[in-house]
Amino acid sequence: MTTKTTATTGRGGLDAEEVRRRVRAFLAEHDPATTDRAAFLRARFDAGLAWVHFPEGLGGLGAPRALQSVVDAELTAAGAPDNDPRRIGIGLGMAAPTILRFGTEEQKARFLRPLWTGEEVWCQLFSEPGAGSDLAGLRTRAVRDGDAWTVDGQKVWTSNAHNARWAILIARTDPDVPKHRGITYFVCDMTAPGVEVRPLRQITGEAEFNEVFLTDVRIPDAHRLGDEGDGWRVAQTTLMNERVAIGGGAVPREGGMIGVAATTWRERPELRTPGLHDRLLRLWVDSEVARLTAERVRQQLAVGAPGPEGSGLKLAFARLNQAVSGLEVELLGEEGLRYHGWEMTRPETVDFFGHDAGYRYLRAKGNSIEGGTSEILRNIVAERVLGLPSEPRIDKDVAWKDLPR
């Protein structure tokens, strides 16, 4: 599949050749070999070469999203540093598009540049004990106090909270209306008094997730995203982008988890059996279908915002990661039971490929929970993609305070 970016023209007549010219002019003034990394990234943002589809002045050129590949290819060829996207994935994939759509001009100017350069790491304070799949049932409370809000509650499964400077947060601001209508969306300072981060040790031995306790945390109203009580609608933008970010990343043919299993199959013929061969072929085909589907969704995203189709990508990603990692462990036999160690670490990123097969098998179990459980994603695909009847929801018109606990 070939994309002819030279035919893509945006506002102001920007096309691939013009964008390429701008990148080369930028590199002539900012040699990656001699420019400090942080200074290079800040200058790249200011030149509009961070997200080319973002507005001018906010890291972009107002150009078609498809032209980002032109920028990235030129900079990679020149040996330019990247912004370590895996480390700041929550900021890039979830916070940034939400701030762009719902933030004030002051919020965009304050948050987007250090978010993109990686100088400020972000996390997501959504899920709670008892409000995971039913996120709208959340209990964390925000009470207005003049020009600020006082927030109390508990959040859970918060990736990278131990490194984060800022968090995107949803909280209950009106318990007297139905649960979806009484939520407001905030940007929370993770260094504020009353924010406590505790590690959650996983089956892998790591603690990349955390629980976060909020006690009398003050958030200025200037850090509210969207209108008061409209947080559920704002959160949908975050969630749809999250699912595309998790399940719709660009990978080469035979990339990702299936590539590891296929390499093991080729390099270790003594491990092969006819049954495992059949399973590998089926999973290889499924992985290729998922990869091409993700490419189609990214092309749709280039001309608009992500929709519910991203839930299907994330659903397929979780299923395939678990199936392929299970096959790899079986293929390796006793060797597949080996594990690198159980000491607790606090990683900044999820690295499936820097560990052994046992790690991949265990860590993949979380894929069907994080970013929306597979059960909830099946409902979204059924109702919002396939148009099937909705499940009965008897609580949708009941005030949150009157719901059974």
Q: What token pair was written down for 184?
A: 């407001």
Burial class (CB in 10 A: 0-12, 13-18, 19+), 142: buried
Alpha-carbon gap, residue 267 to 81, rounded angstroms: 33
Q: How many CA atoms lie within 13 A of 316 on its CB side?
A: 22
Residue 236 main-chain phi, psi, to 5 deg = -65, -35
Alpha-carbon gap, residue 249 to 93, rounded angstroms: 11
Q: What token pair was written down for 96?
A: 């940034």
Q: Annotated catalytic residue: which of 242, 328, 330, 375?
A: 242
Q: Residue 242 catalytic?
A: yes
Alpha-carbon gap, residue 107 to 353, rounded angstroms: 36
Asked if 395 and 172 touch (Cβ cutoff 8 Å), the reply is no
- How many Å from the N-terminal Cα to the C-terminal Cα in the chain? 52
Rg of the Cα atoms in the chain: 22
Asked if 297 and 310 touch (Cβ cutoff 8 Å), the reply is yes
* Residues designated catalytic: 242
